Chains A and B, each alone.
Chain A
């Protein structure tokens, strides 16, 4: 096993971590800020992939998909927000879980009805096709792209949350919503903004994942569980927690599959169990 092999595994793990990050950051901030549990987050990811496929087919360009999918998912998210989510914000976690769980079922069939049951592919753009060199190995350029997108989003969110006023308001709202509102922060508008950003990120994750994983009806739930594990491990509501959690889960699942394939399947669950027992609030929770 030479450095080339390790470099390959490292990149695969990083790529998976980025996808997890894009999904978990939306979920964790929505939960940390709105106290809203959105189990349908994985379904939004799936919608992003499928909308991307259709956009690419209609416009004949991957980049159309890249821009339209997040927008499309955000629009759907906004509709959900005004019809259901705003009503349920104070309904208690159980009702939120039930309703968003129902949404998973609804979206599952909606996707099947619109796009059918077969996995749909999305072609990476010509500019990103082929391979590039890194640490002596050839790695698909498109996967580098995924890593790059993830890194850019991470950096943008970091700057946004820590250096801008809106970011400060969001962090304040996560720590103490009532206090933030008492200080005059328009929490409702903030929530809507955060929710939309979360949906956009889910849609983005879906469309950039599509060329690699294909759009399938099962992709929503198959990414939801690792995402939930990331959120629990990383801790609710914090960017650092989402970064740490997605890196941990991404690397354990990928590298684990190399060493001990049988164990790898359950490795992230074992990690989940360990965190739940030893540090149920997660590694880096937003509220101490």
Chain B
């Protein structure tokens, strides 16, 4: 069951504060990094909701993000609709895709689920890649940012956009945490723990998992909007399987099932990526090995392992103080 512990809140606040500071005090390049982190963090949070708490490890979350981005592009660039309603519709579209995939795969679990999501994600990539109308390999440009000039906010400014991305990350985290503590989230946890028993208790687990994927896709869709508006350009690469793979690696890197772990993972991942790209072109081998090492070493991730150690030490401290009390 998910619990927003004090430690997690502190770490979340500290991370957000750090990102804000970096955004405000750094220059343009720093803000680019912050937006990259935000997009990846939102994606990772959305994946953790279903993977960490529902046991549904999806390899199509990058594709979901891409679908939202393209939906936004279609509505704004192709049909000339205003940005805000287009964004809402695009996110809703992503949620629908997620729900449908979740429903199709709802009867399967474990490896079949992973393989199926990989396949459907790649299907979305293929469809968009082959579409001339969507620009094919060249992508689509000219995607607008929100016009908040009536509020005095200049979305064109890199500082504003960076803060906007951080704000959305916080909002997504809060939404995810809230839903995980709701009846829906509790039931999802129950299904993860023992699906047959949940069925025997009267829960339609297939529908529930479909809805969970839908909610997760909604959050991932938000990442898609941020990504689309960031560079104001989208290409089919967003939907390529390696992106989905990277999101999964980020979740594991930070800590599956902790919700804050993925945020930490995103920070670590982007930082590492920028360090490594200065040295070598071969980023994939680095993250591949990183993933293998983390899993073989126990799989708790940076934040997850820290939380675990802290819990062990407080247990030991409790035992010690109890002993003293009895003495």
Let me know if chains A and B touch directly in the complex, using CB atoms closer than 8 Å: yes
Give the residues in chain B near A87, CB-CB below 8 Å: 296
Residue on A nearest B299 in the bound complex, by CB: A95
Minimum C-beta distance from A194 to chain B (A): 18
B295 is contacted by which of A95, A106, A113, A229 (Cβ under 8 Å)?
A95
The segment from B25-33, B120-128, B162-170, B180-188 found at the interface with A is B120-128
Separation of A35 and B41 alpha carbons in the complex (Å): 33
B-chain residues with CB within 8 Å of residue A276 when the two chains form the complex: 104-105, 107-108, 112, 116
Chain B: which residue is nearest A226 at the CB level? B119
Contacts of A113 in B (CB 8 A): 282, 285
- Total A-B pairs in contact (CB under 8 Å)? 109
Known: A105-B284, A229-B119, A269-B120. A98 touches B112 (CB 8 A): no
Provide the residues of chain B in CB contact with A84, threshold 8 Å: 292, 296
Q: B283: nearest residue on chain A (CB-CB)?
A: A109
7 contacting pairs across A/B (C-beta < 8 A): A84-B296, A87-B296, A99-B295, A102-B288, A105-B242, A229-B119, A231-B115
Q: Is the CB of A101 within 8 A of B107?
A: no
> Which residues 288-317 of B sit at the A interface, judged by CB distance below 8 A?
288-292, 295-296, 299
> In whole angstroms, how far apart are the Cα atoms of A280 and B109 in the complex?
10
| B contact residues around A99 at 8 Å (CB) | 291-292, 295-296
Q: Select B285's contact among A93, A105, A265, A272, beta carbons within 8 Å.
A: A105
A65 sits at the interface (CB 8 A): no
The contact string, 1 if C-beta is below 8 Å from chain B, for chain A 86-111, is 01100001111111011111111110
- Interface size of A in residues (CB-CB distance below 8 Å): 39
Pairwise interchain contact A277-B130, C-beta atoms closer than 8 A:
no
Q: Which of B105, B119, B245, B252 contacts A269 (CB 8 A)?
A: B119
Measured in the bound complex, the distance between the Cα atoms of B130 and A91 in whole Å is 39
Q: Is B110 positioned at the interface, with any CB of A under 8 Å from its CB? A: yes
Tell me if B67 counts as interface (CB < 8 A to partner A).
no
Residue B228, interface by CB 8 Å: no
Residue-wise, chain B 108-144 has the 8 Å CB interface mask toward A (1 for contact) of 1011101110111011001100100000000000000
With A and B bound together, what is the CA distance between A37 and B57 in angstroms? Answer: 14
> Which residues on A sit within 8 Å (CB–CB) of B284?
105-106, 108-109
What is the CA–CA distance of A280 and B252 in the complex, to the nearest angstrom?
Answer: 28
B168 → chain A, closest Cβ, in Å? Answer: 28
If A37-B114, A280-B108 are given as contacts, then 16 extra A-B residue pairs at C-beta distance below 8 Å, sorted by A number, are: A37-B111, A93-B111, A97-B114, A99-B291, A99-B295, A99-B296, A101-B59, A102-B291, A102-B295, A105-B287, A221-B122, A228-B115, A262-B130, A265-B130, A269-B119, A276-B108
